[in-house]
Structure formats: C-alpha cells, structure tokens
Amino acid sequence: MKIVVGLGNPGGQYAQTRHNIGWMVLDRLADRGGWAGHGRERDASKVVQGRIAGVDLTLAKPLTFMNDSGLAVRKLLARERAPLNELLVVADDFALPFGKLRFREGGGAGGHNGLGSIIDELGTEKFSRLRIGIGEPDRQAIDHVLSRFAPDERQRLDELLDAAADAVEAWAHDGTNKAANRFNPFELRPADAERLAAPGEVDGPPGPDGIRRTKTGWRRTRPPEAAE
C-alpha cells in the first residue's frame, strides 16, 4: 500500500489557495479512482483508499492545519505500519516557478512549515516529496501562499493538476527516481489568450467531446472550480 499525503489547510477559506495545491492533487486522483466523496476522518486526516491503475493507494489530507501536519502523518504511518519508502508528500513550493514539478527523495523543509512539521515528528528527512511550483511571491510569503491563483494561472491549473496526478501515479508504479526523471523536466505551457495548437495536438483545445491531448495523456477537461 502506497501512502500519498497532500498538504493543505481545512476550511472553506483555504480552498483553492496556493498552499492547498497538495489537496487539489489528491482530489484529482480521487476523481480518477471514482472515490470522490467516499473519504472518512481518522488519525487527524481525511483518508480514502482504493486502487488506481493496478496500484493500491491511501490518499490522506491532514486536518491538523499546515503547521502540525507531522502529527497526522505519524499517526497514519503507525496505523498502516508503512515504511518511509512507501510515503510520498505532495506540497506547494514558492521557490519554484508556477507549474514546475520537482521530486526529491529527501532533504530539508525549504521553509515549508508542513514539511518541517513532518520532519520533526518523524525524526528524519528521508521521505519522498513532490513539490509543485506556485510561483515566487511579490508580497509577504504568508500572504502569497494563502492567496488564490491569478487568472493566467487558473487558465492552466487544470492541466497542472493532471500532470501532478500523473506524476504521483508514476511514483506509485516506478519509484521516486524514475518519476523524477520523467516529471522534473516537465514544463507547463505558457499562459495565452488562445491555444495555438490545433485540436487533437498536444496542448491544443478540447474536441467536441471535451477531451484534449496533453503532454502526459488524453484528459477530459473540466473547470478548476469543479474541484472545490
């Protein structure tokens, strides 16, 4: 059983903010598995379990608020009796440009309070994490991470969530190193008023059936608001 923890804050005021992109990625995975709305609360997290593409996954959203995320992660690992190499933490990162993905097998918190709490509770930095770029702040960091995405970012947010969900699936199948080789070079398309690619081409508009082709596969489009 692979465990994926998405970092975020509970409460409607935090929904769709940059700091909650880890939760958004888990929502996308739950949608793919048909598990949306089937989670339950235990061990200070909202948890759902199921199988995606042949891999058993536990998806967990800590409900402790960001700064105490480690409490929930420690309880979850204890219940599942899972080794650290079965854990992936999905978190935002304002040191990365918006849309970049970055796998790492360990390392420090990088100023992220959620990751810092997990490191403190587990007593180690040796767990995999997927950082998702939310863009460099042009204001105080706390104001930036708790802000909502700009219009040009929301235009591409659905594509970013798909790519990040694909990255998590790759990690579950192939491990951190192979997933990193595939997804760390990922580049989200630039913002534009209209797509330049033709229908059916990579990053082109969706067809009449609402399906578009991305760099990581064919996806049915939906507005980001549907994840709320």
pLDDT of residue 209: 78
* Mean pLDDT, each 10-residue run in order, the chain (228 residues): 96 95 97 89 95 91 97 96 96 96 96 97 97 88 91 93 97 97 94 62 72 74 43
pLDDT of residue 137: 84
Q: Is residue 40 part of a domain?
A: yes
What CATH code is carried by the domain that includes residue 9? 3.40.50.1470
Q: Is residue 23 part of a domain?
A: yes
Distance between CA atoms of residues 52 and 33, nearest Å: 6
**Residue 178 belongs to what H/E stretch?**
helix 176-183
Residue 159, sorted as left (phi over 0), alpha (psi -120 to 50) or beta, turns out to be: alpha
pLDDT of residue 199: 63
Residue 82 is part of which domain span?
2-192
Q: Is residue 6 part of a domain?
A: yes
Q: Quote the radius of gyration of the chain (alpha carbons, Å).
A: 17
- Take residue 67 and report the two structure tokens written for it: 């700064």
Q: Is residue 228 part of a domain?
A: no
- Supply the DSSP symbol for 76: H
Whole-Å CA distances, 32 to 36, 50, 146, 172: 9, 11, 27, 15
CB neighbour burial string for 28-51, b if at least 16 within 10 angstroms, e if fewer: bbbbbbebeeebeeebbbbbbbbe
Distance between CA atoms of residues 27 and 44, nearest Å: 18
Handedness of CA 120, 78, 127, 72 (dihedral sign): negative
Q: Is residue 145 part of a domain?
A: yes
* Residue pair 6/22 in contact by the 8 Å Cβ criterion: yes
Q: Which amino acid is residue 163, in one-letter code?
A: A
Q: Is residue 65 part of a domain?
A: yes
Q: Would you call 112 a catalytic residue per the annotation?
A: no
**The pTM is what?**
0.84
Q: Is residue 213 part of a domain?
A: no
Q: What is the number of domains present in the chain?
A: 1
Q: Is residue 220 part of a domain?
A: no
